[in-house]
Amino acid sequence: MPVFLSSRFLFFCIIVPLLISITLYQLDTFDPAHHPADSLISSTASIPPLINERFLTGAEFIGVGLLNSPEDIAYHEDSGFIYTGCVDGWVKRVKVAESVNDSFVEDLVNTGGRPLGIAFGIHGEVIVADAYKGLLNISGDGKKTELLTEEADGVRFKLPDAVTVADNGVLYFTDGSYKYNLHQFSFDILEGKPHGRLMSFDPTTKVTRVLLRDLYFANGVSMSPDQTHLVFCETPIRRCSKYYINGGRVELFIQGLPGYPDNIRYDGDGHYWIALPSGVTTLWNISLKYPFLRKLTAMVAKYGVDLMFMENAGVLQVDLDGNPIAYYHDPKLSHIATCDKIGKYLYCGSLSQSHILRLDLLKYPAQNKKL
């Protein structure tokens, strides 16, 4: 090939695309920030002594094909139903039985939005954090749906995410981001800026209060058994913290998690269960460390290409002080959003599957890997 052809080839096939890419990068207004330094630290302290790394081996599937991405789940002990919210707007309830084949699914109500967090009010009502509607109150029979709140301090919710109810009836919930909605949530994480809030709603006074702001994608929230504090999760920085209701003090609960936390559930038996939609992957780790890589990822995502793959999802069991006890995960599992221990079973909701996962903890326990 003549020299001038080689130079022309180099110019048009390499130099020109490179210059265009640099220009587009500089013109793009997406401006990621550095995450807090301590959030990037991996710690073996969050890895428990008991591990089951083949979660799918013993998993059973409930409501196959009838549940479209059942993100959160909540168990109603009196009726024996599990309530869940699906991506098509339906709040459904699932009758659980010893045999998966004896379980069945019922439609309760369609919110017209995307029901995420689910909890029960003190009068039997179903409380739903709907990503597009706000905080909803649904009557036990599903015949009446009431909007409780959709903004706080003059700022509308963009991503109501999780909700828990205190014994006195006060509702505590998270807004994952006041800037990005559910379809844009990945941009919130990639931007690396704290747009999340922790809030309360008092059904008696109808007052919505912002308890904490500037949280990194505020996600799951759970009331402590003694009703003194909340435990809430911040997804991208792999951290859960305590918020003390009297005084508003915040302290660390657990950090350096082996995955990115979504919902957290108290099991009534001295343990919290933290759902991890994805384990810590090399790509996620590097991208969260370097803002320019997150900007490139966001630019590609605008064209519908998702480079942030989820894998090795699972659930971490911790005690009331945040000490890890057991870790259930699987390299082939992803998008686990909630895990609720009911009797001897662990029930898990999902961001992507058409069923609820169930694992018999007695048949498939986490074991000491050192033995």
304 versus 268: the higher-pLDDT residue is 268
Helix (H, G, I), strand (E, B) or coil at 56: helix
What is the average pLDDT score of the chain?
90
Mean pLDDT over 1-19 rounds to 48
DSSP per residue, 187-209: HHHHHT---EEEEEEETTTTEEE
Q: In this predicted model, which residue has the larger pLDDT, 297 or 358?
A: 358
Look at 367 and 11; give whichever has higher pLDDT.
Answer: 367
Instruction: Give the model's pLDDT for residue 366.
Output: 96
- For 37-77, how does the pLDDT look when each residue is reduced to its tens digit (9 = 90+)? 777 666 666 789 999 999 999 999 999 999 999 999 999 99
Structure tokens at 106: 């019922």
Tell me the backbone φ, ψ of residue 296, rounded to 5 degrees: -60, -40
pLDDT of 23 > 80? The answer is no
Work out the pLDDT band at 212, boundaries 50, 70, 90. very high
